[in-house]
Amino acid sequence: MGDHVFRYEGYDILPAKGLVRLTYSCSGEQFVETVTLDGADWDAPGADAAARLLFFLAGVSYYKAFAPPVVDLGDHPVPAGFRAFLRSYYRNGLGEFAFRNDLDLRDLTVVGGTDTPAAASAPTTDAPPSTRPLVPFGGGMDSIVSVELVKAVTPDAALFVVSRPADRFEAIERAAAVTGLPVVRAGRELDPKILRSAELGYLNGHVPVTAVVSAIAVLAAVTTGRDAVVMSNEWSASAGNVAHLGEDVNHQWSKGIDFERGVRAVLDSLLGPRPDYFSLLRPFSELWIARRFAALPGYLTEFRSCNRAFHLDPARRLDHWCGRCDKCAFIDLVLSPFVPAADLAAVFRGDEPLANPAMLDQLRALIGGGAAKPFECVGDVDECRAAVVLAADRPDRAGNPVLGALVAELDVDQVRASVDRFLAPLGAHFVPGPYAAAAGLE
């Protein structure tokens, strides 16, 4: 890290252009990001506070270019406790980035900001039930399950999709069409310099993008009259990958419960009880979600979460599952106990990871047989072991050599004893009444 300061310069709401402009600087460089929202009412109560939260959380994409020891919030208003929250956000959200770049962020300091009173609010638990939720949607298994649960609560839900302006991802659009819900869209345009990080000599690596999407979704909810942002982050997202400098490094930290708890407190200070923000799938394992998804056959041929479907360059996007990445391996594994083998073979166009001995090491890493859990949005090691044993029990998987090799590395009786645990609610959550009832939590 250098002896520089990362500065939050300012944010501007430009209603005539339908966008928010965010400006940052560090080490003589200025970075400008824009976020567009269609149909936004920029005069809506809370719009400025929501834009300020986005300004604060989106800065992480530019801080990482130099990773200096000081973050300066300038004279921007902040609620009580916000500096501590932002410091945790940087340190934990950039844990993988620091690990891969051999950086130590433990001495990061957040300075500046002017203290401001919290928004007048009643406790969120006393607020009336949400009836107009916004569901961030990525076209994968988790957000599809959330959408179907939300539809059981209220007909007035909408999907929320973020992409580069005027860009559309087929992998999202096809699944979104199956939901039958309207789509609220946002366009996020990163500063072009940050996309040239390697060329310009900037540091580069993973950022907590789910947190930024969450902030954009909150802004969209505030400016389009929506009363909740319903995320699809599950129990296993809180589990880390490796230890670095004595601390847990979690690729999915901004999908985990610590971030959810922290940002809910910030939102309550900035905006009061609405919009609510919670993950509907928080207490559930990916195994539970996979079983629920398997009961929605209309999505099986339309969903996709292989990262190669989301390349920034449209010419490099795949229009099918690659069958070779850690995400493909995990999705195949976790669905294999619940979806017929022939159907999964068709999903992967005959290139199914479980049918490919060359994928054995990647699958082995999912059950704890590798050096570390993959830096990818994949499930907990123990639930992946449960998926292996359940899949191997299926008659249509009999004799599968890949599953056979994985089973041979497990204590099968011990794994069987854990299966029921992963098919029931597992932990703490913030899911409010009607949604909790739809998910079977009440």
Residues 429, 277 contacting (CB under 8 angstroms):
no
Identity of the amino acid at 173? E
The C-alpha atoms of residue 254 and residue 7 are separated, in whole angstroms, by 22
pLDDT attached to residue 373: 82
CA–CA separation, 123 and 119 (whole Å): 11
Per-residue pLDDT at 312: 78
Nearest in space to 13 (alpha carbons), one of 35, 28, 39, 45: 35
Structure token pair of residue 427: 């932990």
Q: Give the CA dihedral 377, 380, 385, 387, nearest 10 degrees.
A: -60
For residue 2, the model assigns a pLDDT of: 46
Q: Looking at residue 3, what is its pLDDT?
A: 52
Residues in Cβ contact with 157 at an 8 Å cutoff, skipping those fewer than 6 apart: 132, 133, 134, 135, 147, 150, 151, 181, 230
Distance spanning both ends of the chain, measured CA to CA: 49
Going by C-beta distance under 8 Å and a sequence separation of 6 or more, which residues neighbour residue 359?
323, 324, 329, 353, 402
pLDDT score recorded for residue 307: 86
> What is the model's pLDDT at position 345?
95
Q: Contact, 275 vs 222, CB < 8 A? A: yes
In the chain (442 residues long), the average pLDDT of successive 10-residue segments reads: 81 97 96 96 97 98 97 95 96 96 96 84 62 96 97 96 90 95 97 95 96 98 97 93 87 96 96 95 97 96 89 83 94 98 94 96 91 84 96 96 96 95 94 94 81
pTM for the predicted model, two decimal places: 0.95
Q: What is the pLDDT of residue 37?
A: 96
